[in-house]
């Protein structure tokens, strides 16, 4: 610009053009200065960052690829840098574990909160390395283990094609990339190419180990589906561990729909002949060969296939005294697998004892069960000793008898023990005479009679006499109408005071008696049984008016919408409860609905209310009340609108069941996983602390007495100056009754949570085994 300005002045160009040139000159200078300043700033920042990087470089520092190239270009690599597993292995090999442990121990004493927790976690890892003699470099894979060919098969298909395991493809990729990297190293390929090849090799190894959890997208096969890696083969319910190793598939097993069979004993199950023959086929073949009824296995199999008569005789011989295991999925507790002696039956359904249903949570609406043959003598002995159905009739969680009568059996007891009072009851000198009179149709089963029992003459009925005849002779005479609650009381009393064999025999007799008299006496229900003296319409109209008043209050802004819904819901629920109580009072004691509910055979007061009065409020699938009360009942039928509102409750039941099943199953699995090693290993751990408090006013399902029974005391129980029980003493029924009678509100007991045993727990902290005492 200076030269142009001088030339312009010599040539006499006007001032305006000169000023333009001067202005351009200034603009250019300003631009150059600005660009220079910006470059200077960038260079200063870059070198500042470089200086900061150099100052921060120490062993274990992580550099990005760009940072490494910048240092390399300026010849500032005064250190050795590696990438990938090589770098990690070098750092691990140089690690002074003992020194690190000392540092972390010192640091953990000074730190608090999350930092301390993190330090302690690191300390545990490092101490684990030291205690077990583990070299940290072993965590880096130098040599890749190859799965045996049997676990990654290649199956030839028709047309010369092959079906192969995904693992073979994943291994092939690793071998290919490893060989290529080896060749590139030999020919001295540039570092950039080697790095890329190493990255690809690492990706192949990652895909082999866990293809579904890679940082980048998983490796795909030709069908654009992710390869099944080693971890995928191990993971979950279908993995090798849970499917093949922890729970093996077994031969000699069958599966069939179940059906009830009251003729069975408690230790018996009905096994379809065809199923039994297939399951016990090897044993039957052995018997045919032993008895020289077949010269070889082929002929023996032909005899079995033709179902010759001798085959059934030999099958009966084979299964005699050999229990089988029945399992009903889902197997949620130990009572879901029980042993039974098989009894050959016609048909295709497995027959189950009615009292075994509760433990299996089974019903006969299409449920299926699996049956397994026991092969070894040890398995047979263990089954007979611990797994037979008769050994699993008491619930280990609360000590109550599980195998108690229900449904039709309870109805039979309730009907036969009803007492119909008469003006002049007949008198009998003994129980046997009363029973003979009933068998000859001289008296009715519920007719009031006078019977001499022991030294007393009791007013009773022959049904009660027959019921008491199946109880032990020294058992107190039950002179009341017997329902579900009373049966449970009797069963638990038998468990506590009589030998186990008597309990099992009595339960079987309960089954036979209940079914017999439910059938003999008969039971029916008709629409006329639902008619009660009850005028609902005016009361429902009154409730509608109250509902309208709530709506008016809401429209006037006196209450919010949620308050209106809550008040309306509470009002209708209270009304429904009131109706249920009134309807129940009006029911005749011989009404089939009353008998069904009161006996415990089926339903409850809520179901009776829905038939007799109004259905009331229902919840939606989210558990919220539907603000539309159903004013109809099942006797008169629901309107179309009410039916669809009621369907909300049905949907909620189905949704709840499916949601609960998965979450509870997973929770159970986690609980078992953390607690499976907690077994009783010692007699007494020597615990002498305060103990666990059990209070009478605790809001629990179980009563105070039930919760303290069987526990071992941690402290003396005092009533004033009197010692009711001493520490380390087991709380028996007698001691529990004393504590209850004295009005003691709090007891301190030993607990598995407080046990001092280094492994598992001790007998004293566990307490009594409620299943067998």
pLDDT bucket at 1, cuts 50 / 70 / 90: low
| Same CATH fold assignment for domains 527-653 and 680-766 | no
Give the residue from 204, 236, 596, 264 showing the smallest Cα distance to 403. Answer: 264
**Residue 77 clears pLDDT 80, i.e. is over it:** no
**Which CATH superfamily includes the segment(s) 408-521?**
RNA polymerase Rpb1, domain 3 (1.10.274.100)
- Among the residue ranges 59-68, 87-96, 134-143, 434-443, the one predicted with the least confidence is 59-68
pLDDT bucket at 57, cuts 50 / 70 / 90: confident
Give Cβ neighbours of residue 282 (< 8 Å, ≥ 6 apart).
Answer: 252
**pLDDT at res. 311:** 93
pLDDT bucket at 677, cuts 50 / 70 / 90: confident
761 beta partners: 680
Is residue 489 classed as helix, strand or coil in its secondary structure? helix
pLDDT in tens, 315-331: 999 999 999 999 998 88
| CATH number at 680-766 | 3.90.105.10
pLDDT bucket at 701, cuts 50 / 70 / 90: confident
Architecture of domain 527-653: Orthogonal Bundle (1.10)
**pLDDT at res. 18:** 62
The dihedrals phi and psi of 4, each to the nearest 5 degrees, come to -60, -40
Pairing, β 253-260 against β 350-352: parallel
pLDDT bucket at 277, cuts 50 / 70 / 90: very high
- CA-CA distance, 322 to 112, in Å (whole number)? 64
pLDDT in tens, 161-185: 888 899 999 999 999 999 999 999 9
The pTM score is 0.74
CATH class (in words) of the domain with range 250-391: mainly beta
Is residue 50 classed as helix, strand or coil in its secondary structure? helix
The residues spanned by each domain of the chain are 85-139, 149-243, 250-391, 408-521, 527-653, 680-766
**pLDDT at res. 7:** 61
Give the residue from 635, 749, 762, 652 showing the smallest Cα distance to 694. Answer: 749
pLDDT in tens, 590-638: 899 999 999 999 988 899 999 999 999 988 877 788 889 999 999 999 9
Ranked by mean pLDDT, the top range of 332-336, 387-391, 768-772 is 387-391
pLDDT in tens, 479-523: 999 999 999 999 999 998 999 999 999 999 999 999 999 999 999
Give Cβ neighbours of residue 297 (< 8 Å, ≥ 6 apart).
Answer: 285, 289
pLDDT bucket at 381, cuts 50 / 70 / 90: very high
């Amino acid at each position: 610009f200076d030269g142009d300005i001088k030339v312009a002045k010599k040539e006499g160009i006007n001032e305006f053009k000169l000023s333009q040139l001067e202005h351009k000159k200034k603009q250019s200078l300003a631009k150059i200065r600005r660009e220079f300043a910006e470059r200077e700033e960038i260079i200063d920042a870059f070198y500042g960052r470089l200086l900061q990087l150099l100052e921060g470089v120490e062993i274990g520092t992580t550099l990005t690829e760009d940072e490494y190239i910048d240092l390399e270009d300026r010849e500032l690599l005064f250190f050795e840098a590696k990438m990938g597993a090589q770098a990690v292995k070098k750092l691990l090999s140089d690690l002074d574990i003992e020194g690190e442990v000392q540092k972390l121990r010192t640091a953990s004493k000074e730190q608090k909160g999350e930092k301390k927790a993190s330090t302690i976690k690191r300390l545990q890892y490092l101490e684990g390395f030291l205690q077990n003699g583990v070299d940290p470099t072993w965590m880096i894979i130098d040599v890749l283990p190859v799965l045996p060919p049997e676990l990654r098969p290649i199956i030839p298909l028709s047309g010369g094609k092959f079906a192969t395991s995904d693992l073979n493809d994943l291994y092939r990729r690793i071998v290919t990339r490893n060989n290529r990297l080896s060749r590139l190293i030999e020919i001295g390929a540039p570092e950039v190419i080697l790095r890329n090849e190493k990255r690809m090799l690492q990706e192949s190894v990652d895909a082999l180990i866990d293809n579904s959890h890679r940082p980048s997208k998983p490796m795909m096969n030709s069908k654009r589906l992710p390869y099944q890696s080693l971890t995928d083969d191990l993971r979950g319910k279908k993995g090798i561990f849970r499917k093949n190793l922890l729970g093996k598939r077994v031969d000699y097993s069958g599966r069939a729909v179940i059906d009830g069979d009251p003729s069975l004993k408690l230790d018996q199950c009905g096994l379809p002949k065809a199923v039994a023959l297939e399951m016990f086929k090897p044993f039957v073949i052995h018997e045919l060969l032993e008895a020289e009824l077949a010269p070889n296995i082929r002929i023996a199999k032909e005899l079995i296939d033709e179902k010759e008569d001798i085959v059934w005789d030999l099958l009966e011989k084979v299964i005699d005294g050999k229990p089988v295991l029945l399992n009903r999925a889902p197997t949620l507790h130990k009572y879901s697998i029980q042993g039974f002696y098989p009894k050959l039956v016609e048909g295709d359904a497995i027959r189950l004892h009615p009292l075994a249903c509760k433990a299996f949570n089974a019903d006969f609406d299409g449920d299926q069960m699996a049956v397994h043959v026991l092969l070894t003598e040890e398995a047979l002995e263990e089954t007979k000793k611990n797994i037979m159905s008769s050994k699993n009739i008491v619930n280990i969680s609360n000590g109550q008898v599980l195998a108690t009568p229900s449904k039709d059996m309870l109805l039979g007891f309730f009907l036969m023990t009803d007492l119909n009072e008469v003006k002049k009851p007949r008198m009998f000198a003994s129980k046997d005479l009363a029973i003979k009179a009933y068998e000859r149709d001289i008296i009715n089963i519920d007719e009031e009679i006078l019977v001499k029992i022991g030294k007393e003459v009791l007013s009773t009925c022959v049904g009660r006499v027959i019921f008491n005849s199946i109880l032990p002779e020294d058992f107190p005479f039950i002179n009341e109408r017997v329902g579900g609650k009373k049966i449970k009381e009797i069963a638990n009393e038998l468990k506590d005071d009589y030998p186990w064999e008597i309990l099992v025999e009595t339960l079987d007799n309960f089954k036979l008696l209940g079914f017999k008299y439910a059938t003999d006496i008969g039971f029916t229900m008709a629409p006329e049984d639902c008619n009660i003296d009850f005028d609902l319409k005016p009361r429902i109209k009154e409730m509608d008016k109250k509902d309208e008043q709530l709506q008016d209050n809401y429209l006037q802004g006196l209450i919010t919408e949620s308050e209106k819904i809550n008040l309306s819901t509470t009002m209708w629920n209270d009304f429904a409860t009131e109706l249920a109580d009134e309807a129940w009072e009006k029911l005749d004691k011989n009404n089939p609905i009353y008998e069904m509910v009161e006996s415990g055979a089926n339903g409850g007061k809520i179901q009776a209310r829905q038939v007799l009065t109004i259905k009331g409020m229902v919840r939606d699938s989210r558990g919220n009340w539907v603000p539309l009360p159903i004013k109809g009942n099942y006797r008169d039928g629901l309107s179309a609108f009410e039916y669809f509102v009621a369907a909300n409750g049905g949907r909620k039941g189905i949704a709840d069941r499916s949601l609960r099943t998965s979450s509870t199953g997973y929770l159970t699995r986690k609980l078992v996983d953390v607690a499976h090693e907690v077994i009783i290993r010692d007699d007494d751990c020597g615990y002498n602390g305060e103990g666990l408090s059990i209070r009478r006013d605790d809001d629990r399902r179980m009563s105070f007495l039930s919760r303290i029974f069987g526990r071992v005391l941690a402290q003396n129980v005092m009533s004033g100056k009197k010692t009711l029980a001493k520490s380390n003493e087991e709380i028996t029924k007698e001691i529990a009754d004393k504590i209850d009678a004295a009005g003691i509100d709090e007891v301190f007991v030993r607990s598995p949570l407080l046990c001092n045993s280094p492994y598992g727990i001790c007998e004293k902290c566990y307490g009594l085994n409620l299943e067998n005492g």
